[in-house]
Amino acid sequence: MQQPKRLKDLSKNEYKRILERSTSKVEEALSAVIPIIKEVKENGDEALVKFTARFDKVNLTAQDLIVSKERIEAAYKKTSPDVVASLKRMRDQVCHFHQHQIRKEWSINKFADKGEGRYELGERFIPIERVGVYVPGGKANYPSTAIMAVVPAKIAGVSQIILASPPRKTDQMADVVIVAADIAGAHLLINIGGVQAVAALAYGTSTIPEVDMIVGPGNAYVNVAKAYLSGLGEVAIDSPAGPSEILILADDSANPSYIARDMLSQAEHAEDNSAVLVTTSKKLADKVYQYLESEVDKCLRKKIIKKSLEDYGAILIADSLSEAIEFTNEFAPEHLEIMTERPHQVLKEIKNAGSVFLGDFSPVAAGDYLTGTNHILPTGGSARRFSGLSVETFLKKITYQSLSKKALNLMSEDIARLASLEGPYNEHIRSVKAREEG
């Protein structure tokens, strides 16, 4: 990777490389995605079998699309008790954190006129009924993603959670994903991946029930399919999640080997991942650079790591903590580690980030699996606009009002004046006046 550089000395192109990260070609993907969606909508299960054979190289019958009870039992048997225990601990930790995101209905009462003019206003929170969860397959298994997506939906009270994940070449979805999904509480598991899974969940087929919302990370095609169907109003989605990334904000109190290890840990995910350090300490920057240079060849996934650090990595030196913070907010990282003397103080200045890891002993890996915060987070700078997955992702808000006759009368003049500015809406005015006379 490139040697440390002062933030101020970065060329426009270098700055752009670091800030833009790996961006997928949405418009190209869209033209590939639309025909698949149309075919699944029209031909249902038949199209699912066809696309699974084509893209996943697995020949399923329509019956195999759904993971059977027997298959779930078999998956448990093939999974070691230690792994089951770790998955359960993860579920419990995620549960513990997310339970604090439950919303309680509220109402306010106004007494405009000694009780007679009383009216009530309030807000209720209702779970979305049917949710599809997408768990990627491909090169690895992601049981943790199953837990991160299903548990918040469960806590919100979603009554039907359908988890889709691509089948493995030899069989249905991986045992450990089946076990994780079951431990998390998914109601139905389906052996379908890619755009065809998204389309099946949005429209339903003979065997796959239609859902109201689809969440979970995926490749560029899955993300574009979700965004397209959401744009059409067919289904709600969570925030888009692309290649993963870490930004570490550190001063000279930080431990360079911890920082380097966390950058390697991010880079090992995939070549399109991004690991960046911004620090006020030139000395720290140099040490991290040296540590990375000496360690990278010892890593199991060194090819991926080298490419990731070369294309998207950076070690940047800021003149001051405030310059480093400003850069951080501009970068809007998915994962932000703050390793400074007073990390909580710095946290107060952070405006854009998915999840934040404070101090020397909070590596991202801990949040990936076990602290309990969600790891499905906005990437690529979209933390400027979006939030990570939470219980609230699965809650709708319904407002309500209940007026007494007197309360309405006390409002009627203003309502009439405002309605006459628009339209004018005479029937709006008459709907209010009718109640005065009645």
Count of Cβ atoms closer than 10 Å to residue 17 Cβ: 16
Site for a second copy (CB under 8 A): which residue of 10, 19, 62, 365? 365
Give the integer Cα–Cα distance in Å for 341 and 352. 21
Residue 407 binds a second copy (CB under 8 A): yes
Q: Which is nearer to a second copy, 66 or 347 (CB)?
A: 347
User: Which residue among 269, 334, 337, 375 is the active-site one?
Assistant: 334
Quick check: helix, strand or coil at residue 22? coil
Residue 303 binds a second copy (CB under 8 A): no
Residue spans of alpha helices (H) in 296-348: 302-312, 321-331, 343-347
Distances 181 to 134, 142, 167, 197 between C-alpha atoms, Å: 11, 10, 14, 16
Residue 255 binds a second copy (CB under 8 A): yes
Give the integer Cα–Cα distance in Å for 381 and 391. 22
Which tokens is 248 given?
A: 């570490």
Give the integer Cα–Cα distance in Å for 243 and 387. 16
Please check whether residue 251 is in contact with residue 216, taking contact to mean a CB–CB distance below 8 angstroms: no
Segment lying near a second copy (by CB under 8 A), choices 1-9, 12-20, 126-134, 310-318: 126-134
Residue 411 binds a second copy (CB under 8 A): yes
Q: What angle do CA 398, 126, 239 make, to 5 degrees?
A: 90
Q: Which residue do the tokens 């419990």 mark? A: 92
Site for a second copy (CB under 8 A): which residue of 14, 121, 252, 286? 121
Q: Which is nearer to a second copy, 186 or 419 (CB)?
A: 419
Residues 54-83 that bind a second copy (CB under 8 A): 82-83
Site for a second copy (CB under 8 A): which residue of 46, 299, 326, 342? 299
Active site residue 334: yes
Residue 360 binds a second copy (CB under 8 A): yes
Residue 108, H or E segment:
strand 106-110
Query: Least separation, in Å, of the C-beta of 285 and a second copy?
Result: 19
Active site residue 335: yes
Segment lying near a second copy (by CB under 8 A), choices 57-65, 194-202, 281-289, 349-357: 349-357
Query: Least separation, in Å, of the C-beta of 75 and a second copy?
Result: 13
User: Which residue among 98, 269, 335, 375 is the active-site one?
Assistant: 335
Which tokens is 436 given?
A: 């005065």
Q: Which is nearer to a second copy, 59 or 426 (CB)?
A: 426
The number of CA neighbours under 13 Å toward the Cβ of 396 is 12
Residue 53 binds a second copy (CB under 8 A): no
Site for a second copy (CB under 8 A): which residue of 22, 52, 141, 273? 141
| Positions marked catalytic | 334-335
